[in-house]
Structure 1
Amino acid sequence: MDELINNLLKKYKTNCPFELSRALGIHIRFMNLGAVTKGLYYRKLRRRFIVIHNELPLEWQRFVCAHELGHDRLHKGINRFFLEESSYFSPGKLERQANLFALKLLSANSLPDQDESLNSYYLRIGIPPEVRFYTQD
């Protein structure tokens, strides 16, 4: 996963998931996805789509885009839904991998300052602090 992310950063010179998705030919759409779905990734007729819940705060839209980009890069051919953590669905291996991909991509080229808490670090680089719950096994 680290090599995959490093190759994306090197080739496209950005860790912005929106820019990377567009550069990779993935169509991004925003729409109301209801109360529990934050985003989804799907393929249709060899076209790839990321759909992001349009009522999410900007930092969540960015994280969801990175998460769904993770599905595109790591889980080719599998359609996925990113469900609210309070749903009754336990995040499986593929979801944890996509979350870790998103976290690594968004934190690329940035390290926590000495004695900086994880929450402060996430806030500084624009990652929702709740993300730590999404990446745990």
Structure 2
Amino acid sequence: MDDLVQSIISRLIKKHHTNCPFALASLLGIHIRYADLGKATKGLYFRKLRRRFIVIHSQLPAEWQRFICAHELGHDRLHKGISRFFMEEHSYFAPGKLERQANRFAVALLTSDLTMLPDESISEFYLRAGIPQEILGGD
């Protein structure tokens, strides 16, 4: 799976010259919307009438919105035809295999232009990449 994720991300970046999830979604024709999704839902991805949408919880901090956009972009690239909610249940990432895959995609995309520094912890690396620290426990 990790090789597949890296291959997809490499092709996206090579073609579109960016790893910004918002820019990539736009370039891929995915519509981004913001809405108050309540306490349990950070974002969602769905298709309707051949149009693709990412909806991001409007009350999230910027780093979370960026991560959620990358996560939902992962669903678009990895799970064609499946609409999935990014749910927060008892822990941040309890929902299963598809959610873990989308998380890995998001982390790989958001860190694709960075290299870990010598003696840098994974927590420091994620902080430098703008990835929410809560992701550490669920990936």
Structure 1 length-normalised TM: 0.94
For each residue in 1:57-99, what CA deviation from the matched residue of structure 2 results, as whole angstroms up to 9, or x when unmatched? Answer: 1000000000000000000010110011536983211111000
Q: Report what 2:33 is aligned to.
A: 29
RMSD after superposition: 1.5
| Superposed displacement of residue 121, structure 1 | 1.0
In the alignment, the residues of structure 2 paired with residue 130 and residue 102 of structure 1 have an alpha-carbon distance, to the nearest angstrom, of 14
Identity of aligned residues (%): 64
Q: Distance in 1 between matches of 2:113 and 2:29?
A: 24
2:130 aligns with one of 95, 108, 126: 126
1:20 aligns with 2:13: no
Give the Cα separation in 2 of the matches to 1:133 and 1:25: 32
Query: Which range moves more in the overlay, 41-50 or 109-118?
Result: 109-118
- Corresponding residue SS for 1:14: coil
| Distance across 2 between alignment mates of 1:134 and 1:68 | 16
Q: CA deviation at 1:122?
A: 1.0
Instruction: Determine if contact 1:36/1:87 at 8 Å carries over to the other structure.
Output: no
**CA gap 1:54/1:88 in 2 versus in 1, 3 angstroms:** closer
Equivalences for 1:1-137 in 2 at 5 Å? 1-86=5-90, 90-135=94-139
Tell which deviates more after alignment, 82-91 or 118-127. 82-91
Task: Return the offset for 1:111.
Answer: 1.2
Structure-2 separation of matches of 1:15 and 1:126: 13
Contact kept in structure 1, 2:92 and 2:135, CA below 8 Å: no
Cα distance in 1 between the residues matched to 2:66 and 2:82: 21
Counterparts of 2:77 and 2:48, CA distance in 1 = 16
Query: C-alpha deviations, 1:95-123, integer Å up to 9, x for none?
Result: 11000000000000201111011111111
